[in-house]
Amino acid sequence: MDFEPIPGLAEARKKYDDFFREEMKKAPPGWEGGPEDLATHEGHAFQRYVARELGKRGWVCLAWPKKYGGLEKSHFEQLAFNEARAYWKAPGVDQFGAGMIGPTLLAVGSEEQKERFLPPIARGEIWWAQLWSEPNAGSDLAAAQTFAQREGDDYIVNGQKCWTSGAHHADWGFAVVRTSREQTRSRALSYLLIDLRSQGITINPLATMSSHRTQEAYFNEIFLDNVRVPVVNRVGEENDGWRMIRATMNFERSGLSAYGAMRRELLELIEFCRETKWQGEPLLNKPLVRDRLAQLAIDIEAGMASARHVLWGQYKLFLGEESPRDQATRSSSLKYYRSELSQRFAYTGCQIFGLYSQLKRESRWAPLYGKFEKEYQSCLGNNIASGTTEIQKNIIAWEGLGLPRI
């Protein structure tokens, strides 16, 4: 084993840090880079601006082939970029486009689809939404009911999708739909790319717990009423969508740079505690506060160490040297470790802030722009989105450890 950083990576990281340091000076006040920041009109405009700047440099999809708009950089340089972007809480890379549908198309899309959709993603020009969950199909995605009826060269799609992050700003969606009445569950699913400006699409906001009055929602529900989608927009074969879904899920579960972001947030919290006196002495002098901050530091580093192994495993998987099963187990374990850690982080921040922790960012007394007031509520979604913690544990028990299913 060798934990030395790869030569040349530090220089690359510095280049990305320098870029984001400058660009993030233009961020709206109180920017945290979370979905609620991205949901607002102002936040999305900033997101599009940064995306165009990244696109000009070919940085949105560094590791992609040049013919699709990438620079064919290594996985490790991609990670250095991801870490820098996470550290600076920078927007500009569409997690659904560059992060999910792009890699899926690279792996299983037709050549025509790759040529049509990948370059605008790499240029940071079009934005995607994930049309998977439905009111009665969340973790149990195979229960999806939205139906696509074949009619000549088109599908006619009817149904309802929900929990669609950012759909109100997105241009396109990648959807899980049912295409057979004979087959059941996952055997009847197909994967469609849908233009969200199509006739018959209605997008309504779904307000989250922390929202109030006129705040913009980042979740949406989408109604599809006789929406016409060309058959050429299907990814993979009809009724073979489950295989594509599994491919996308593997891209969704990596999320490695989150720990770098947490490190930065911890440093900010420590700095705040060093500077703030509420009862005569700096918060950082209190043994309880020191204990809690130290515990967060420990938990973040443990997660980061494990995340490096996930990255390495993905790299080996890419080379065909590690089994997808082992990789899935570690990804599942780290997925809920990370969501629970972000929850502990929010709870710890609130505990340290005491009475102040309840203040929303609109209050002039709110510490750190009400960051923890918001995160105390938004953190709950992380334990549910992209496969609940309970599902991840089942995967580990069943697939990783081979325990019996009763």
Note the residues at the interface with another protein (CB under 8 A): 133, 136, 138-140, 143, 162-163, 206-213, 219, 278-280, 288, 350-351, 354-360, 362-363, 365, 373, 376-378, 380-381, 383-385, 388-390, 393
Output the smallest distance, CB 38 to another protein, in A.
17
**Amino acid at residue number 341:** L
State the minimum distance, in angstroms, from the CB of residue 381 to another protein. Answer: 5
* Beta carbon of residue 282, minimum distance to another protein (angstroms, whole number): 14
Return d(Cα 243, Cα 129) in angstroms, integer. Answer: 19
Distances (CA, A) of 75 to 60, 62, 63, 105, 318: 13, 9, 6, 18, 10
**For another protein, which is the closer residue by CB, 199 or 214?**
214
Question: Measured from the CB atom, is 198 or 389 closer to another protein?
Answer: 389
Q: Which amino acid appears at position 404 of this protein?
A: P
Return the number of the residue (25 or 212) whose C-beta is nearest another protein.
Answer: 212
Least Å from the CB of residue 166 to another protein? 15
- Provide CB contacts within 8 A for 111, sequence distance 6+: none
φ, ψ for residue 345 (rounded to 5)? -60, -50
Tokens of residue 273, six digits: 């505690």
Residue 402, SS3 per DSSP:
coil
DSSP string, 246-282: HHHHHHHT--TTHHHHHHHHHHHHHHHHHH-BSSSSB
Q: How far is the CB of 353 from another protein (least distance, A)?
A: 8
Helix (H, G, I), strand (E, B) or coil at 224: strand
Query: Closest approach of Cβ 226 to another protein, in Å?
Result: 27
Cβ count near 320 (within 10 Å)? 7
Q: How near is the Cβ of 247 to another protein at its closest, in Å?
A: 22
H or E stretch at 202: strand 201-206
Measured from the CB atom, the residue of 309 and 360 that comes closer to another protein is 360
125/399 with CB nearer another protein: 399
Whichever of 234 and 292 has its CB closer to another protein, that residue is: 292
Q: Give min distance, CB of 187 to another protein, in A.
A: 15
How do 219-230 and 154-161 pair as beta strands?
Answer: antiparallel
Q: Which is nearer to another protein, 202 or 351 (CB)?
A: 351
Q: How many other CB atoms are there within 10 angstroms of residue 237's CB atom?
A: 13
**Structure tokens belonging to residue 258:** 């989150």
Report in angstroms how near the CB of residue 216 gets to another protein at its nearest.
Answer: 12
Output the 3-class SS for 33-90: CCHHHHHCHHHHHHHHHHHHHHHHHCCCCCCCCHHHCCCCCCHHHHHHHHHHHHHCCC
Q: Nearer to another protein by C-beta: 8 or 354?
A: 354
Nearer to another protein, 243 or 286 (CB): 286
